[in-house]
Structure 1
Amino acid sequence: MTDTDRARLARLLSAEQETYSAEHPRSRELFEAGTNLFGRVPMTWMNKWSGGFPLYLDHARGNRITDVDGHTYVDFALGDTGAMAGHSPAPTTAAVARRMGELGGITTMLPSADAQWVGAELTRRFGMPLWSFTLSATDANRWAVRLARLATGRSKILVFAYSYHGSVDETFAITGPDGTTVSRPGNVAPPVPLDVTTRAATWNDLASVERQLAHGDVAAILTEPAMTNIGIVLPEPGFLEGLRELATRYGALLMIDETHTFSAGWGGATREWGLEPDLFVIGKSIGGGIPCGAYGISEAVAAAVTGHTDTGEADIIDVGGVGGTLAGNALSTAAMRATLDEVLTEDAFAHMTALATAFTEGVQGVLDEYDVPWSVSRLGARSEYRFARPAPRSGEESAAAHDDDLDAYLHLAMCNRGILMTPFHNMALMCPDTTRDDVDRHTAVFREVVAALYD
């Protein structure tokens, strides 16, 4: 096994930082001028891009991004899944332009025929019979959690340590040293101690799940089919089936969030792996880049919710805290219809998955060649390398594999050679416009930057 020479890493990182700064003067100028923005950027997480300042966008199309300094990149980040359909896919932009121009009516608080079409298509793909729309997966998770609490009469949500479900307060939880639930490090001002709202368990550990469910106060298990935002951590055989069985046995609902794991296939991991959720959440990619999200519920959950609303206990039409005036607007539903109907098709997923398989094989070949103690995992059209070998099997293990300097070096070295990876981790996503040449280019660059460190 080849150990990381930290002194060599520091020298390589410094050289990549100098190159990045020298080649992006306009981006640096815009960043330094952004004094009226908190953190100098539109959203503070944009500072996660390595190099001291982010790239600034000029234009993007398909899987190519061009920055304001004129550099064009092969984009494997794809908006951290938000642009899984590619940047500005033609059917989506045409549908959006028609809604905004010819038809008019971006948001009217009125339903549209497009919304009904999208609901039927989501049922066809994911199996849930009833749907409601949002403007993000965060909202979809937040509102579905409220319905789960209403349907069960229970207060707590079970999540997995280092999972990610947007900025939902209940989900930034990990298991403390004594088995209690505590806030994840860095969580910004949780409104209440996390053990008031949440129980945390360990991914791939059914015993830890059962211990938390045994308290009898869990409304829903909220989980991705595979962990993603901490690196891809795949479920071990029987784990997801065990979650379904435990949820049923202890009277909790099973809530599946496929915002990232939609990469698994045309119907997400839910269809690919035969999952049976009670609630289902998706967002980002289904609108081709237009803000949107959706949650689906079973007939049983709908009946339980309706029972409480019929008695006046809860109000899901007016002031009950579920919904928003822009949710389900005509523009977002038009975008979703076009994207699902014409872009993220079964053929597209077959193409994307084949490329992700080649991407993964290319990375593994380089790791084997230099005996680098990293691993690479794939989830359909998505692949990711992690600084651990063997691959982490839980969120805790994946978090422990994080390495700031290695992350910065990999991201900057790739960027300086014309390839963008997701800034939060080393995730690569394929879109319908990605080609085998793009994948082979990544493999060649990856080999170059790994060789510089380990040869």
Structure 2
Amino acid sequence: MTSSGIDSSAVALFSARESERFLSNNPQSVAMAERARASLYKGVPMHWMSDWSTPVPLFVSHAKGARFYDVDGHEYVDFCLGDTGTMFGHSPDPIAHAIAEQGARGLTTMLPGEDAIHCGELLSQRFGLPYWQVTTTATDANRFVVRWARAITQRKVLLVFDGCYHGTVDDVMVRCREGQTVHRSGLVGQAYDLTQYSRSIPFNDLEALEAALAQGDVAALLCEPAMTNIGMVLPDPGFMAKCRELTRRYGSLLVIDETHTISTGMGGCTRQWELDPDFFVVGKPIAGGVPCGVYGCSAEMAEAMASVGKGSSEETAGHGHSGMGTTLSANALAMHCMRANLEQVMTQQAYDHMLPLAAELAEGFRRVIRDHRLQWSVTQLGARCEFQFCPTPPKTGAQAEAAFHDELQMALHLYLINRGILITPFHNMTLCCPDTSREDVARLIETLDQGIGELLAIPGARS
């Protein structure tokens, strides 16, 4: 018996059966996987694409709205939505039109157009920070903000929460183990000691937060307002307000990364919870699925940024050698799509549709868990929800990680895939988009209920 309440041998039998079903039903994906191995490392264009629950990668043909279709002609209801990259659905019509329009009049020029002004104005209205910069990814945005924070404060240490998600920024690739900051396990090719200038503490731990900040060397606290990639972890009441208070008290900046938590509602947690950050970052969905990220800053930070480098013999920080910016940042295609997304897709009407459906899905998960007498829990944040293999929602990244059961999770995911439903890999998270229907939600709940029932029917599953 595992902490999930289901015997591992039963999970293995269940998974083997589902793998056979997948291989039998997906001959084109199997053939493409074999062909791909001759030219693509691990047979995929990005190595983690081979880490899904399927025995070979599932190859996609096309996607639209809340659905995608594989090369074998199967239709899927998509609750993963590119792990937030297409949070408002695949190829919304305004984005498809924007791509066609801009595709005919130039993709990248290294110069701004009128769309840039519209985007800046729309971002300021949406998120409440007056000044904006555009990047190609949220990873880039976080990386550049960390540079600004260190330059402004003249401090070197970055503070993050254990289990955080901020893309692939080097400085965040650390964990907290027994009160000590260590490198993340599995980190490849790391040439220098990240713990020299990065510090990791548990989420929701005010004592650890103040102790870390009180050392007086923290340039910034970079955080998600709710953790989303180690398993969903919501902040305790008042915790984020305390983050703002303590960072100000000890002279550190507060950077809020809402690349996932933008699912909370219009303006993300930053507007919904009045977080008042110094810097704000969001990526993935901001341009409707076209690669793009942005960061915003307060007027005080903009003034401090303008002062960086003045009075020295070096070029000012606005120069191209600042360590910030890539040639494709703020390209014309991304700017046109971001404008269309902010004006026509990422709307209050969209959230008004998504949020009630996610609440309905979360309640359905709870009902299935109760009916099967499992000691699992459910966490919801706006349009996002997740079931976790622990009796109460976790309070820290370590608690969320302790609830992982990779084999069970992957077996359930594969069961769903074999029946035309996709949820986010690597944990049990779902997103509802404007094209998700109540019927889609009911289908996911019913199929998960059926899968758990079949798993528990295996002799010895509860032994």
> Does structure 1 conserve the Cα–Cα contact (< 8 Å) formed by 2:4 and 2:390?
no
Give the one of 80, 97, 100 matched to 1:97.
Answer: 100
Which amino acid in 2 is paired with 1:400?
Answer: A
CA–CA distance in 1 between the matches of 2:193 and 2:209?
20
Which amino acid in 2 is paired with 1:440?
Answer: A
Which amino acid in 2 is paired with 1:414?
Answer: L
Which amino acid in 1 is paired with 2:261?
Answer: T
Aligned length: 452
Q: TM-score, normalised by structure 1?
A: 0.97
Q: Which residue number in structure 1 is paired with residue 215 of structure 2? A: 215
Question: Which secondary structure state, in structure 1, belongs to the residue aligned with residue 308 of structure 2?
Answer: helix
Question: What is the Cα-based RMSD across aligned positions, in Å?
Answer: 1.3
Q: Which residue number in structure 1 is paired with residue 385 of structure 2? A: 383
> Does structure 1 conserve the Cα–Cα contact (< 8 Å) formed by 2:258 and 2:282?
yes
> Does structure 1 conserve the Cα–Cα contact (< 8 Å) formed by 2:4 and 2:405?
no
Q: Which residue number in structure 1 is paired with residue 188 of structure 2? A: 188
CA–CA distance in 2 between the matches of 1:175 and 1:63?
37
CA–CA distance in 2 between the matches of 1:415 and 1:176?
35
Counterparts of 1:387-398 in structure 2 under 5 Å?
387-398=389-400
Question: Which secondary structure state, in structure 1, belongs to the residue aligned with residue 399 of structure 2?
Answer: helix
Per-residue deviation, residues 391-412 of structure 1 (Å, max 9, x unmatched)? 1110011111111111111110
Q: Which residue number in structure 2 is paired with residue 26 of structure 1? A: 28
Counterparts of 1:132-281 in structure 2 under 5 Å?
132-177=133-178, 179-281=179-281
Q: Which residue number in structure 2 is paired with residue 361 of structure 1? A: 363
Q: Which residue number in structure 1 is paired with residue 460 of structure 2? A: none
Q: Which residue number in structure 2 is paired with residue 308 of structure 1? A: 308
Counterparts of 1:315-330 in structure 2 under 5 Å?
315-330=317-332
Shift of 1:31: 1.3
Q: Which runs of 5+ in 2 are unaligned?
A: 458-463
Q: Which residue number in structure 2 is paired with residue 116 of structure 1? A: 117
CA–CA distance in 1 between the matches of 2:150 and 2:28?
50
Provide runs of 4+ in structure 1 moved above 6 Å: none
> Does structure 1 conserve the Cα–Cα contact (< 8 Å) formed by 2:406 and 2:426?
no
Identical-pair percentage: 47
Which amino acid in 2 is paired with 1:173?
Answer: V
Per-residue deviation, residues 349-405 of structure 1 (Å, max 9, x unmatched)? 011001100110110000011111111111100111111111111001111111111
Shift of 1:180: 2.5
Per-residue deviation, residues 312-333 of structure 1 (Å, max 9, x unmatched)? 4543222111111110111001
CA–CA distance in 1 between the matches of 2:380 and 2:192?
36
CA–CA distance in 2 between the matches of 1:395 and 1:376?
15
Shift of 1:424: 2.2
CA–CA distance in 2 between the matches of 1:106 and 1:402?
43
CA–CA distance in 1 between the matches of 2:235 and 2:190?
29
Which amino acid in 2 is paired with 1:221?
Answer: L
Give the one of 16, 19, 38 matched to 1:17.
Answer: 19
Which amino acid in 2 is paired with 1:255?
Answer: V
Question: Which secondary structure state, in structure 1, belongs to the residue aligned with residue 251 of structure 2?
Answer: coil
Q: Which residue number in structure 2 is paired with residue 84 of structure 1? A: 87
Shift of 1:176: 2.9
Give the one of 318, 332, 338 matched to 2:334.
Answer: 332
Which amino acid in 2 is paired with 1:134?
Answer: T
Shift of 1:217: 1.0
Q: Which residue number in structure 2 is paired with residue 400 of structure 1? A: 402
Q: TM-score, normalised by structure 2?
A: 0.96
Shift of 1:51: 2.0
CA–CA distance in 1 between the matches of 2:422 and 2:444?
10
Question: Which secondary structure state, in structure 2, belongs to the residue aligned with residue 97 of structure 1?
Answer: helix
Which amino acid in 2 is paired with 1:205?
Answer: D
Per-residue deviation, residues 53-97 of structure 1 (Å, max 9, x unmatched)? 111011111011100011110000000000012111100110111
Q: Which residue number in structure 1 is paired with residue 286 of structure 2? A: 286
CA–CA distance in 2 between the matches of 1:192 and 1:159?
18
CA–CA distance in 2 between the matches of 1:219 and 1:370?
48
Q: Which residue number in structure 2 is paired with residue 129 of structure 1? A: 130
> Does structure 1 conserve the Cα–Cα contact (< 8 Å) formed by 2:4 and 2:389?
no
Shift of 1:174: 1.1
CA–CA distance in 2 between the matches of 1:52 and 1:365?
30
